[in-house]
Structure 1
């Protein structure tokens, strides 16, 4: 079976849903941000802040290449910007299934804990109104990349358990 890549905006639930989905399917869970941190010996926020976005995106791509080379059936949570860089999205589509977890900026803002905001460099220092406005613009720029996913799921009206079952059912129906 092919890897299942979860894509979507930061804070949309890729890691949380990925863990649940992997448990449900009885497969490994891989978080590209965690692998970047392990390989770089620093947090995503620190790599981004001190070495720059370009360096971070290169580290992300190395991790993606590593995951693709393994090509085992696993659920892979990707960083929010990973699908938007170079040919990452076509690469994931070529070797696995991609699922875009689409959420509204308002729902993501409600889901983010204070820690969740602090650990994401691009969200630091924004109040609720600024956060939603920033996300709305940023999400619009990323939408063309995310929309290339083999499955687009509107997450707002569903619980995590419903989302997991929807994803499992969709891919089992597709064979």
Structure 2
């Protein structure tokens, strides 16, 4: 099995679903944000704040390349902005399978805990109405990149188990081709 990359906006469920998929597939799970944090010894928010977004994106790409370079099957949850930066989306499409977990801004806002909002640098300090407006605009700018994924899953009306099954079916269909 090639690596499976989960892409989508922050808070859409990439890490939660990624862990479930990895368990079902019997492969390791990797989260690019967690790998950046481990490498830097600092939170994503702190890397953003003190080193800047360009530095964070460079480190994020290095972590992505190391994950692919390991040559192992894995489920990889990517940061929400990773597919938008440079040629990352094309790189992931060449290296493995990509799945876009699509949710609306309203759906994601309902999913985010206060901690989830605080730990995401771009969402800090936004009120509820501002949050949905910001995410709607930001998601629209990212959509062309996310839409390059081999599979798009509309997650809004689905349970986690239904989403996992849809992705597993997709992977089985890819193996047959």
The TM-score by the shorter chain falls in which range?
A: over 0.9
Aligned to 1:63: 63
SS at match of 2:164: helix
Aligned to 1:88: 88
TM-score normalised to structure 1 length: 0.99
Question: Does the 8 Å CA contact 1:28/1:74 hold for their aligned counterparts?
Answer: yes
Aligned to 2:51: 51
Question: Does the 8 Å CA contact 1:5/1:99 hold for their aligned counterparts?
Answer: yes
- Return 5+ residue gaps in structure 2 as ranges: none
When the two structures are aligned, how many residues end up with a matched partner?
Answer: 175
- Return 5+ residue gaps in structure 1 as ranges: none
**1:68 CA displacement:** 1.1
1:23-66 per-residue CA deviation (whole Å, 9 max, x = no partner) reads 11111000000000011110000000111100000010110110
Question: Does the 8 Å CA contact 1:107/1:156 hold for their aligned counterparts?
Answer: yes
TM-score normalised to structure 2 length: 0.98
1:46-100 per-residue CA deviation (whole Å, 9 max, x = no partner) reads 0001111000000101101101101211100000000000010100000100000
Aligned to 1:150: 150
Root-mean-square deviation (CA, aligned residues, Å) is 0.6
Moved beyond 6 Å, runs of 4+: none
Aligned to 2:20: 20
